[in-house]
């Protein structure tokens, strides 16, 4: 069995077509998934399957849904000044009666998100954290860890020893890893009552042997699995610290291409 993990970014809005709006693409993709009878499971369930803690029906097809960066549009509808009303990922999910779940990997630092509002969303105030608790309470979404500040290239300073930006592969020490990963988990858990963050998505999909072989398996215990952006499906042979994901707009650009990914996940 192979299980594809799909990734979307709600900040990807430059029009109202599948090719230029991940919110639009998600609506079309969710219909395709439903029409094909593919079962949506949570990222946590998939990790439990990897660890032989749950058994999945081998006669069924499965898929996992994830969102990166933690923009409010993951959960809240928004009127775009140029492209009009935007339906959030969550609003699309609510329109389906069957069991459905998605994981939103969020950037923890509020200060970093304030800068990203200016540098990545044209000043639109859509990168808060007030929605995290409500999203978690729905049972349809989980809030998980996408690092402290994404070592984002538009920030003046990032939490990395040499202030190296745009490259998470440069997180090479316990200090940097704790700042970027452990501190992020602590902040997220402080915002979401009774939450214990257990999943991590590498910024830019970047990982290195220190994180995969040392920090995650040996230097910490809270995070149970980490996700990359390598375009492959998950199998029993997958290293849980290098779980691959397909990225919307990069690894598939229409429903026909996504259909091929879902079929290959049989």
Question: Average pLDDT, whole number, for the chain?
Answer: 96
Give the H/E segment covering residue 225.
Answer: strand 225-227
**By 3-state DSSP, what share of the chain in percent is helix, strand and coil, each rounded to 5?**
35, 15, 45
Tens digit of pLDDT for each residue in 173-201? Answer: 999 999 999 999 999 999 999 999 999 99
Residue 50: per-residue pLDDT: 97
| Average confidence (pLDDT) over 215-236 | 97
What CATH topology corresponds to 5-264? Answer: TIM Barrel (3.20.20)
Residue recorded with tokens 């499906």: 233
| Average confidence (pLDDT) over 72-99 | 94
**Is 64's pLDDT higher than 70?**
yes
**Is 265's pLDDT higher than 80?**
no
Tens digit of pLDDT for each residue in 37-61? Answer: 999 999 999 999 999 999 999 999 9
Residue 96: per-residue pLDDT: 86
Residue 22: per-residue pLDDT: 98
**Is 25's pLDDT higher than 60?**
yes
| Average confidence (pLDDT) over 59-74 | 97
- Residue 139: partners with Cβ closer than 8 Å, 6 or more residues away: 101
Q: What percent of the chain lies above the pLDDT cut of 90?
A: 96
List 6's β-bridge partners, or say none.
Answer: 65, 246
Residue 63: per-residue pLDDT: 97
């Amino acid at each position: 069995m192979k299980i594809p993990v799909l990734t979307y970014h709600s900040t990807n809005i430059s029009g109202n077509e599948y090719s230029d709006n991940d919110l639009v693409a998600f609506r079309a993709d969710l219909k395709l998934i439903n029409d094909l009878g593919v079962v949506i499971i949570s990222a946590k369930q998939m990790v439990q399957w990897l660890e032989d803690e749950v058994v999945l029906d081998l006669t069924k097809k499965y898929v996992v849904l994830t969102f990166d960066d933690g923009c409010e549009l993951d959960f809240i509808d928004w009127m775009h000044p140029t492209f009009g009303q935007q339906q959030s990922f969550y609003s699309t999910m609510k329109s389906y009666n069957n069991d459905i779940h998605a994981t939103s990997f969020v950037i923890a630092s509020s200060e970093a998100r304030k800068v990203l509002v200016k540098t990545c969303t044209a000043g639109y105030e859509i990168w808060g954290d007030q929605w995290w608790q409500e999203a978690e309470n729905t049972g349809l979404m989980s809030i998980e860890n996408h690092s402290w500040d994404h070592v984002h290239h538009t920030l003046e300073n990032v939490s990395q020893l040499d202030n190296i930006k745009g490259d998470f592969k440069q997180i090479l020490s316990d200090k940097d890893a704790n700042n970027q990963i452990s501190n992020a988990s602590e902040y997220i858990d402080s915002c979401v009552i009774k939450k214990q963050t257990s999943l991590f998505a590498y910024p830019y999909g970047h990982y290195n042997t220190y994180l995969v072989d040392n920090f995650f398996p040996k230097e910490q215990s809270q995070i149970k699995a980490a996700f990359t952006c390598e375009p492959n499906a998950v199998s029993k042979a997958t290293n849980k610290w290098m779980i691959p994901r397909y990225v919307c707009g990069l690894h598939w650009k229409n429903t026909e291409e996504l259909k091929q990914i879902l079929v290959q996940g049989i």
